[in-house]
Amino acid sequence: MTNLPSIYGLTQDQLAAWLLERGHKKFRATQVWEWLYRKRVTDFAAMADVNPDCIALLAEHFAITVLEEHTKQESTDGTIKFLLRLADGNLIETVLMRHKFGLSVCVTTQVGCNIGCSFCASGLLAKSRDLTSGEIVGQIMKVQLHLDQAGKGERVTHIVVMGIGEPFDNFENMADFINVVKDHKGLAIGPRHITVSTSGLANKIYEFTDSNLQVNLAISLHAPNDELRTRIMKINRAIPIAKLMEAIDYYLAKTKRRITLEYILLKDVNDRKEHALELAELVGERRSLANVNLIPYNPVDEHSQYQRSEPESIREFYDILKKQGISCSVRLEHGTDIDAACGQLRSKQIRSVKEA
């Protein structure tokens, strides 16, 4: 792989400014953009109607970086989990999921994760670095090129930023990524079809709100009180629920957009009747703009202290929230016959290399 930065890392405005500084017309950026994201060429030389001097300049400073596929797992439900190799040899996970409403891709924003949720496979390996915006965009392009090669005319329609890492801990690159993929002259993925999930970095929720990215926000809550949340999510020591809810209130008041509260159900840990009632009380007056997404747990060998809640416990938890007037849903599962938990495939691959 080349050491040149990926051109996928530039927004269209950044690309136009870069070319203008070097004496090229602004419309060249639009031409290049369409070749990258509409025609999806992977070689600058294929951009037939772009000025040759402009092509030479771009090729000198950038690469069209197609991420290398290390491993691919395909589920019977159509889910595909890609383990991709970055230029420096690091491995990341990207997942394609098939829904009735379209094709969704879950992207990774960091190599490893430092948030340290006690139930999560992503945090089994500590963060070594942030991904560049080009590496995040490159995941979408890898999946879209895979679809193009299949020849069925399918396209990525939805994105969830819920892979390995904390997106708000890599805020600037995440924001550039969003501005690239939602650009209407390129991949044109609608802002309402993009969801970013955070473990609750309150200061970044304020920044996200003020940035006007217009994409959806999800919060990894997973517990209705500080004692329990601190036990399973160490971030709660620094940012307790009251502080997190203040940031959420700022988001709701300013954007008037619905927010998703994610809640992984752990058997006999956070799935009891009293937890459901406490969660309903926490949501409280925010219920008109909040949806609780109940998530059946995908067990991880290294976190054997946690097990998936029983189906009847999930149903009872759901019913209690509904009776309390809380909008809620149970997440549909994808890829249960492969390494379903986020970060699980990556940690297995790295562990097997170390043991070899």
- By annotation, the residues acting in catalysis are 93, 342
Residue listed under structure tokens 């609780």: 292
What spatial distance separates the first Cα and last Cα of the chain, rounded to whole Å? 25
Which candidate, 49, 99, 92, 43, places its Cα nearest to that of 67?
A: 92
Dist. CA 317–CA 273, nearest whole Å: 6
CA distances from 50 to 6, 29, 30, 32, 35 (A): 19, 9, 10, 7, 9
Task: Find out whether 266 and 294 touch, Cβ atoms under 8 Å.
Answer: no
**N residues, the chain:** 356
Element (H, E) at 296: strand 290-296
Per-residue three-class SS string for 138-153: HHHHHHHHHHHHHCCC
